Amino acid sequence: MGDSNKYILDESRIPKAWYNINADLPVPPQPVLHPATKQPVTPDFLSVLFPMSLIMQEISTERWVEIPEPVREVYRLWRPTPMYRARRWEKALDTPAHIYYKYEGVSPVGSHKPNTAVAQAYFNKAGGTKGLTTETGAGQWGSALAMACSFFGLGLEVYMVRVSYEQKPYRRIIMQNFGAEVHPSPTDRTTFGRKVLAEDRHCPGSLGIAISEAVEVAATSNGAKKYSLGSVLGHVLMHQTVIGLESLEQMELAGEYPDVVIGCAGGGSNFAGFSFPFLWKNLTAGKKTRIIAVEPAACPSMTKGKYAFDYGDAAATAPIVKMLTLGHTFVPPGIHAGGLRYHGMSPTVSALVDHGDIEARAVRQLATFEAAVHFMKSEGIIPAPESAHAIRAAMDEALECKTNGHRRTIAFNLSGHGHFDMMAFDAYHQGRLEDYDYPEERVKEAMQHLPEVALPGC
């Protein structure tokens, strides 16, 4: 085990293939449905939005999917990422637990998002796509895709949730530096955006609304543009598994194996990327690691949502998937974890939560920022508010070990830095942040708007 604080792999250890959990799922996958007919979609329908290569990855049941060398070449800019033993934080917490964190904030744009952005840009370029549309919440996904599109010579149009557009101007500027067009959503550029603004001129926006706008622009572009998603879908989660695959090797270097694996979860990408390789060991090698997905109490899709078929966007034009959802009409409060404000959870993560393979936990905003500051004082890294949800859960697990005298090994994914989130930290220090628990009655009301699906076995 030794006394190292940092576990580094050289470039030769960048994974050569992504792990596809479809090969090992303990429950059968649910169909993706057409938003109008509510019947299983065809590849032709999806090809309006995605290149065929990504559609085939979405439905693949091969355990390993080769990473193209041009993608690995870009990965070398920052991968493999470091894993740290948080010895100073352990001491500050006075816990017998051993805490490790995988740090994805070393990527050029400061988060885990380029792991799939680079892959999606590559496959779109190879398929003849000229430009992409997308949405972004906090701006981490938009920044990553803007970088990837710049690298592969693709245009990019970004619909950024308005409240984040106003709270996080520096991420907007990063996207513009890479050549992307960035619009505060809802906008008057799309039919759905105009509809939303007609009903509420001051709508703060949501990821569901921004997705609707980006999908509409791609779908009406006569093939000139495709749509790119930063989370939720299976191929996106698969691209992120480079995180967990490297982590397996790094834990081996540390001479330990985690008893608990933790990640924050909004749509599921960084959580799945870190946890699925460990879950693979649970499913196929008899390991018993607890896998914990952490979400905000203000946007509790896993802990208060219903496992049901729902639209992927607010306009009900994106495909219908079975997921843990708060309802596609959900408009979240303006919490500072902008990347965790989606109304649903990845279908794959949802199925595993429902089956009992993953534990879901909701944490409040003030406790999350408290943990972020406590961690920063020991480890020196300013975490993104999204990532701080994983820190809070790791802190709670470590303090439980202190209370019970147990020495568990805890590993979490620190999915990005918070250098552009200083306004959120300032609001915390000034006492302007508030806790918000999303009310059960609003969830019940939103369930009245779920699509009616009548399929055998569903």
304-313 pLDDT per residue, tens: 999 999 998 8
Phi first, then psi, for residue 342 (nearest 5°) are -80, 150
pLDDT of 4-41, one tens digit each? 899 999 999 999 999 999 999 999 989 999 999 999 99
State percent of the chain over pLDDT 70: 97
Task: For residue 250, give both structure tokens.
Answer: 């790094």
What is the pLDDT averaged over residues 71-94? 98
Q: Quickly tell me which residue has 């996904």 as its tokens.
A: 141
Quote the pLDDT of residue 332.
Answer: 67
Contacts of 15 (CB under 8 A, 6+ apart): 67, 241, 242, 245, 246
> Confidence class of residue 164 from pLDDT cuts 50, 70 and 90?
confident
Q: Has residue 2 got a pLDDT over 60?
A: no
Quote the pLDDT of residue 312.
Answer: 86
Quote the pLDDT of residue 405.
Answer: 93
Quote the pLDDT of residue 458.
Answer: 59
> Confidence class of residue 338 from pLDDT cuts 50, 70 and 90?
low
What is the pLDDT averaged over residues 203-221? 91
> What does R_g of the chain's alpha carbons equal in angstroms?
20
What is the pLDDT averaged over residues 315-331? 89
Q: Has residue 134 got a pLDDT over 90?
A: yes
E strands, 207-350, in order: 225-227, 260-264, 290-296, 306-311, 320-325
Q: What does the DSSP 8-state code read for residue 314?
A: T
Q: Has residue 335 got a pLDDT over 60?
A: no
**C-alpha to C-alpha distance for 357 and 349, rounded to whole angstroms:** 9
* Residue 25, H or E segment: none
What is the pLDDT averaged over residues 349-358? 98
* Residue 272, H or E segment: helix 269-285
* Mean pLDDT of the residues in the chain: 94
Quote the pLDDT of residue 456.
Answer: 66
Helix (H, G, I), strand (E, B) or coil at 223: coil
What is the pLDDT averaged over residues 267-287? 97
Q: Has residue 404 got a pLDDT over 60?
A: yes
Quote the pLDDT of residue 145.
Answer: 98
pLDDT of 33-80, one tens digit each? 999 999 999 888 899 999 999 999 999 999 999 999 999 999 999 999
CB 132 within 8 A of CB 126: no
CB 61 within 8 A of CB 69: no
Q: Has residue 442 got a pLDDT over 70?
A: yes
Cis peptide upstream of residue 186 (ω within 30 degrees of 0): yes
Among 256, 269, 258, residue whose Cα is nearest residue 229:
269
Task: For residue 157, give both structure tokens.
Answer: 């149009």
Task: For residue 7, give both structure tokens.
Answer: 């576990």
In degrees, rounded to 5, the angle at the alpha carbon of residue 279 between the alpha carbons of residues 277 and 284 is 95
Going along the chain from its start, the domains and CATH numbers come out as 6-14+67-110+235-449 (3.40.50.1100), 28-50+113-234 (3.40.50.1100)
Q: What does the DSSP 8-state code read for residue 106?
A: G
